Amino acid sequence: GQNIDQPTEMTATEGAIVQINCTYQTSGFNGLFWYQQHAGEAPTFLSYNVLDGLEEKGRFSSFLSRSKGYSYLLLKELQMKDSASYLCAVRPYYNQGGKLIFGQGTELSVKP
C-alpha cells in the first residue's frame, strides 16, 4: 500500500523557523517532492529530493532519509505569506514521470 503522513496543522511566528515532517511507506521510491498550496490555488513546486541529505533553496530546505522513510521541509525567516498548505508527495516508480502520491497536507499558520 501507499501511505504518507504529515501533521495536519502547525502554527509558527513571523521571523521564526518551522520544520514540517513527512513519513512515507510506498511500494517504490523515485523521489520526494514538496509543494506549497495557498487556499483556492494550484499547488506550486518547492523542492525535490531523491538522494539522502539536505537540499537548500533560499529560505526553504528539504531533507530526505530513504532508510527511515522520512523527509522534512524547513522554512526559515517565516513571512505572513508563507501561511499555506504544504504537501509532501512521493513518486513511487522507477521510470521517470508517473503519478505522485500525496500526503494530506500540513496547514501552516504564520502569526505576527
Partner 1 sequence: DTGVSQDPRHKITKRGQNVTFRCDPISEHNRLYWYRQTLGQGPEFLTYFQNEAQLEKSRLLSDRFSAERPKGSFSTLEIQRTEQGDSAMYLCASSLVVNSYNEQFFGPGTRLTVL
Q: Which residues lie below 8 Å from residue 20, measured CB to CB, with a gap of 6+?
A: 6, 7, 10, 72, 73, 74, 75, 86, 88, 106, 108
Interface map 46-65 toward partner 1 (x if CB under 8 A) = --x-x---------------
The only residue of 63, 73, 105, 108 in contact with partner 1, by rule CB under 8 A: 105
Q: Which is nearer to partner 1, 40 or 112 (CB)?
A: 40
Cell of 108: 501552516
Q: Which is nearer to partner 1, 33 or 63 (CB)?
A: 33
Q: CA–CA distance from 13 to each of 28, 45, 73, 82, 89 (Å)?
A: 37, 23, 16, 11, 26
Q: Which is nearer to partner 1, 14 or 41 (CB)?
A: 41
What is the contact surface with partner 1 in residues (CB under 8 A)? 4, 8, 31, 33, 35, 41-45, 48, 50, 87, 89, 91, 96-105
